[in-house]
Amino acid sequence: MEQDIRFCTASDGVRIAYATVGKGPPLVRVLGWFTHLEHDWTAPWVKSDVEGLARRYTYIRYDGRGTGLSDRDVDDFSIESRVKDLEAVIDASGQQQVAFFAVSQGGPIAIKYSARHPERVSHLILYGSFAHMPPPRSQEAAEMRDALVTLVRQGWGKDSPAFRMAFTSMFLPNADPERLQWFNEMQRASATPETAANLLTQQREFDVRDLLPKLTVPTLVFHARGDQAVPFKRGRELAAEIPNARFVPLESDNHVMTTDEPAYAMMEQSRDEFLAASADAGASAAVAATSPTPAVPPAPAAPARAAQPAAPVQSGSAPVSGGLVTILFTDMESSTALTQRVGDASAQEVRRAHNDIVRAALAASGGNEIKHTGDGIMASFSGATAALDCAIAIQRGVAEHRSAEPDSPLAVYVGLNAGEPIAENGPDGRADLFGTSVDLAKRVCDAAEPGQVLVSDVIRQLAAGKQFLFSDRGDTVLRGFEDPVKLWELSWEDQG
């Protein structure tokens, strides 16, 4: 199998190289910092990966301006110019609608294109990416960032790979020597030292946070937990802010995923299922639209987004009702106490971190966000297992946040209960859940300590045989309930 390399011209006159291989639904790789279409083909593991994709998709890759086979004599690497590259490639490919697989710096580029041309994008898949990379919080971190740029300018093109190895070890900390050597050489072949440095520094200006809530394309977000180049929390932030996005954490330390690690197989399977499910739903809707109208009209066909794995419903959407429902509450230190201790701006940053972590966990586990309670979030689930998975993800997310930002005061309490709540509109006209089961879930949360997940006995019974670990916290008197309630603590740190 050979790739078909061609050239197109961006609207500002820069010539862009792109390659097409395979047949099937179009999938465009959007990769940000440096690429080289020909050098990719020299690595057996890269070529085999591309050929695997080509058996299922029309797979389109391109070299961004200044890199690979594209025009090198450029100095504008702004996100706007990078979107022009992508626009030129898609137009030249002749595809009316494409799916994106956007990696690292490619994420903001694909997001901006998707917001500008929603009719041209069928799916958005983001890996190891971000909406914005905030400036360093300390002088030491700022100096380290600037030192890396200096290292690129002085050592990128040297024969010795020692300079480039600083980035290789960051992107591929667990790779074998052969892959490390290939990646070292790929860096040098892809771009000049000055271009590599400019691409790195202009990335700091990328900021598409305002576009995330406006996206309408079905979105899947992958992020490796141990990613050293783009912190895990950046992936959580994307999934939390993009409507109905699904978040899939990957057990890896590599920013550049290698095909021989288990996390890659998981990513590959989730990606293909996501693309196939949405496509099947769209095809079903099209068949329904062209079928003869029966005497009794059928229910409307579900849109493509409904075929995705469940994602959190925004506050005010109709919650699960009419049967057994698991209710989850989160809470954190009260707003007044937190504000007095750290100030308004810092307190708001803590609340935002809490919301991002919880909403990403809901997206990954299929929970429905019912409402924001001021210092926490109320959510519902159709099953206890998903709710417990979500609670574990929340506390692990908080732990990772505190590890990355040791001075952060964020601490979260989580409580769960199950029952048959009443679903109706609340005082503000938005859908809500009411009843004893909801009240008890809130009181269970109130009884928790920072970093704890407490559950009622009904939750423990529903989770029997599911390999969750619980510790007996005995009978507890909860405000508003006459009889003591038996509580259990979920040992989230010991879960597999």
Residue 243 domain boundaries: 4-277
According to the model, what pLDDT value does residue 494 have?
62
Q: Tell me which residue of 97, 100, 33, 91 sits closest to 61, measured CA to CA.
A: 100
Average pLDDT over residues 190-200: 85
The answer to the question of residue 250 being in a domain is: yes
Q: Is the pLDDT of residue 490 over 70?
A: yes
Q: Tell me which residue of 115, 72, 88 sits closest to 28, measured CA to CA.
A: 88
Contact assessment for residue 495 and residue 388, using Cβ atoms and an 8 Å cutoff:
no
pLDDT category at 71 given cuts 50, 70, 90 is: very high
The answer to the question of residue 283 being in a domain is: no
CA atoms of 198 and 200, how far apart (whole Å): 5
Lowest pLDDT segment from 73-77, 308-312, 395-399, 433-437:
308-312
Q: Is the pLDDT of residue 325 over 70?
A: yes
Lowest pLDDT segment from 41-45, 109-113, 269-273:
41-45
Q: How far is CA 338 from CA 268, 341, 349, 408, 412, in A?
A: 42, 5, 11, 11, 13
> Domain containing 223 — which CATH number?
3.40.50.1820
Contact assessment for residue 214 and residue 190, using Cβ atoms and an 8 Å cutoff:
no
Q: Are both 326 and 403 inside the same structural domain?
A: yes
Q: Residue 442's CB: how many other CB atoms inside 10 A? A: 20
> Domain containing 374 — which CATH number?
3.30.70.1230
How far does Cα 337 stand from its chain's mean position? 32
How far does Cα 135 stand from its chain's mean position? 21
Q: Are both 260 and 329 inside the same structural domain?
A: no
Q: Is the pLDDT of residue 292 over 60?
A: no
The answer to the question of residue 395 being in a domain is: yes
Q: Tell me which residue of 47, 56, 52, 44 sits closest to 3, measured CA to CA.
A: 47
Q: Are both 260 and 335 inside the same structural domain?
A: no
Q: Are both 53 and 193 inside the same structural domain?
A: yes
According to the model, what pLDDT value does residue 427 have?
56
The answer to the question of residue 378 being in a domain is: yes
Beta strands in 280-359 (DSSP E): 325-332
Pairing of strands 470-476, 485-490: antiparallel
Q: Are both 167 and 229 inside the same structural domain?
A: yes
Q: Are both 423 and 467 inside the same structural domain?
A: yes
Whole-prediction pTM value?
0.61
Which has more pLDDT, 24 or 200? 24
Q: Find the Cα–Cα–Cα–Cα dihedral 404, 100, 17, 194, rounded to 10°.
A: -10
Q: Is the pLDDT of residue 177 over 60?
A: yes
According to the model, what pLDDT value does residue 335 have?
62
Q: What is the mean pLDDT of the chain?
A: 83
CA atoms of 158 and 154, how far apart (whole Å): 8
CA atoms of 418 and 293, how far apart (whole Å): 42
Average pLDDT over residues 57-78: 94
pLDDT category at 426 given cuts 50, 70, 90 is: low
Q: Maximum Cα–Cα distance for the chain, whole Å?
A: 77
Structure tokens at 255: 């920013």
Counted domains in the chain = 2
Q: Is the pLDDT of residue 291 over 50?
A: no
Q: Are both 485 and 420 inside the same structural domain?
A: yes
Q: Is the pLDDT of residue 295 over 50?
A: no
Average pLDDT over residues 462-472: 83
Q: Are both 265 and 363 inside the same structural domain?
A: no
The answer to the question of residue 331 being in a domain is: yes
Phi then psi for 377, rounded to 5 degrees? -135, 140
% of the chain surpassing 90 pLDDT: 43
Q: Are both 135 and 221 inside the same structural domain?
A: yes
Q: Is the pLDDT of residue 309 over 80?
A: no
The answer to the question of residue 296 being in a domain is: no
Burial status of residue 296 (CB atoms within 10 A of its CB: 0-12, 13-18, 19 or more): exposed
According to the model, what pLDDT value does residue 334 have?
67
